[in-house]
Amino acid sequence: MLWLVLGILGRILPHPANITPMTSLALFGGTQLPRWKAFFITLSTLIISDAIIGKMMGYPLTGTWALFTYTGFAAIVWAGTSLRKNPSFFRTGIFTVSASSGFWIWTNLGVWIADGLYPRNVEGLMACYMAALPFLRNALVGDLLWSAVLFTSFAMIRKSAPKLGLEIQGA
């Protein structure tokens, strides 16, 4: 439940563009939860927060963009299931940067295809990616920070749990 609340609040409370916990939560979920549960929580968080954002901002609840956004986060959850087999500080950093970059490439391809803001040619695609570079920078910063907080906190909690007589579930 905390996971869902953190994801929703991270998207609806004021924040710099693309600095939210969603990518890190999706990656972390893939490493710690059964696959179905990680997908379910991630997609539920997106649907609920999109409904709230849509209501607050007057945006449509869904559109072609949702296909790219939701499948992008599903791919991040799936990547997290690969990370669970051999986690390390270095691999987590690589997976986080790859998730941020891959999500940016995928969702901006969706903007180019669906929104009609750019011509449907190579120049239009490159213009779309160029316009989105500030969002990539912010996403990389935010995702690395959020991943550091989530993965490090969980490792510390897991290490301290036996001393406190607690048992931590997870992969």
**130-139 pLDDT, tens digit each:** 999 999 999 9
- The answer to the question of residue 65 being in a domain is yes
Q: Count Cα atoms within 13 angstroms, Cβ side, for 90.
A: 1
Higher pLDDT, 76 or 169: 76
pTM reported for the whole predicted model:
0.89
- C-alpha distances out from residue 61 to 6, 7, 56, 84, 104, Å: 21, 18, 11, 33, 21
| Number of domains forming the structure of the chain | 1
Q: Is the pLDDT of residue 169 over 70?
A: no
- The answer to the question of residue 167 being in a domain is no
Which range marks the domain in which residue 26 is found? 2-8+20-156
Residue 166 binned pLDDT confidence (cut-offs 50, 70, 90) = low
- The answer to the question of residue 134 being in a domain is yes
Q: What is the mean pLDDT of the chain?
A: 91
